[in-house]
Structure 1
């Protein structure tokens, strides 16, 4: 799928990639979701399916934080307070920890909720707000949303397919 250039395309990309992700997450046996047997977000690390969901939940929560801070006229700490873009491995570890107390079903429910919040925030904005001007450096708001929603969902889908193949799990 090409990079979204409009609000409609962004919403379609989020919907398509998220629905596929949920279809995979729904059939993974719960007893396998805590095994750290998938390549992690930092080089040389391993993560679990739970960690992957926590990672997506963390990034989606940041997107909501960025958009709501912007709407209030507040400065935005990209990517997050106390983290720089060259510390994304550390940020991933933070996300794993942040949501470690949630059970798998609650993680999925939280991910659905924050994704729905992002969709509502996108719906409130025009193409011009989303794609008409740079929002962070050279990137538009729509592109920053895509970087942290539909693109990671697609990446997660690929990771899950590979992990499932290696663990004899059928995601169909």
Structure 2
């Protein structure tokens, strides 16, 4: 399989694989280490915690579901989110981190699993034409927009989380 999914089955597989591998890494991290700052943040020169990485992924996953819901019902969508432009993704990431700052690490993991399941169900409900054979937002298909905001950042976050685990001698 190529690194960029080109059809429904590849997208389902990419999201499933990326999320399950990341979850394995999250499970290995002790709760008392989950709020330790030491992971490169989304804003240049910042560092975040493992919990913040989960908040980031939950935020993007929920945005994908919101986009699809609004577009499907003929409502306007403010991409990427109301109050943010595409060149403000760092502040948007910080917004997600703030939104979930009081959540326990276990609750964040469960929320990430839930939003991932909802995205997988969405992808499952659509056909290849809807996902990859028609433009959905500007020059992008819906499948590509989903991948940009699920499996791709999950892989990126996993690399950072694994670096954090190694630096803190966390096994698993």
- Counterpart in 2 of 1:76? 77
How far apart in 2 are the matches of 1:132 and 1:76? Answer: 21
CA RMSD of aligned residues (A): 0.8
- Counterpart in 1 of 2:54? 53
Q: Which 4+ runs in 1 deviate beyond 2 A? A: none
Alignment length (residue pairs): 171
- Counterpart in 2 of 1:42? 43
How far apart in 2 are the matches of 1:37 and 1:119? Answer: 31
How far apart in 1 are the matches of 2:113 and 2:71? Answer: 23
How far apart in 1 are the matches of 2:22 and 2:67? Answer: 24
How far apart in 1 are the matches of 2:115 and 2:71? Answer: 17
TM-score normalised to the size of structure 1? 0.97
How far apart in 2 are the matches of 1:73 and 1:138? Answer: 19
Q: Which runs of 5+ in 2 are unaligned?
A: none
Q: Which runs of 5+ in 1 are unaligned?
A: none
- Counterpart in 2 of 1:165? 166
TM-score normalised to the size of structure 2? 0.97
- Counterpart in 2 of 1:2? 3
**Residue 44 (structure 1) shift:** 0.2
**Residue 95 (structure 1) shift:** 0.2
How far apart in 2 are the matches of 1:55 and 1:2? Answer: 22
How far apart in 1 are the matches of 2:160 and 2:102? Answer: 23
- Counterpart in 2 of 1:153? 154
How far apart in 2 are the matches of 1:142 and 1:73? Answer: 19
**Residue 156 (structure 1) shift:** 1.0
How far apart in 2 are the matches of 1:62 and 1:138? Answer: 19
**Residue 165 (structure 1) shift:** 1.2
Partner SS for 2:136: strand
Cα displacement string for residues 47-94 of structure 1 (whole angstroms, at most 9, x for unaligned residues) = 000000000000001011011111111111111011001101100110
How far apart in 2 are the matches of 1:135 and 1:75? Answer: 13
Cα displacement string for residues 93-143 of structure 1 (whole angstroms, at most 9, x for unaligned residues) = 100011112111111111111111111111111100001111111110000
How far apart in 2 are the matches of 1:114 and 1:69? Answer: 17
Partner SS for 1:135: strand
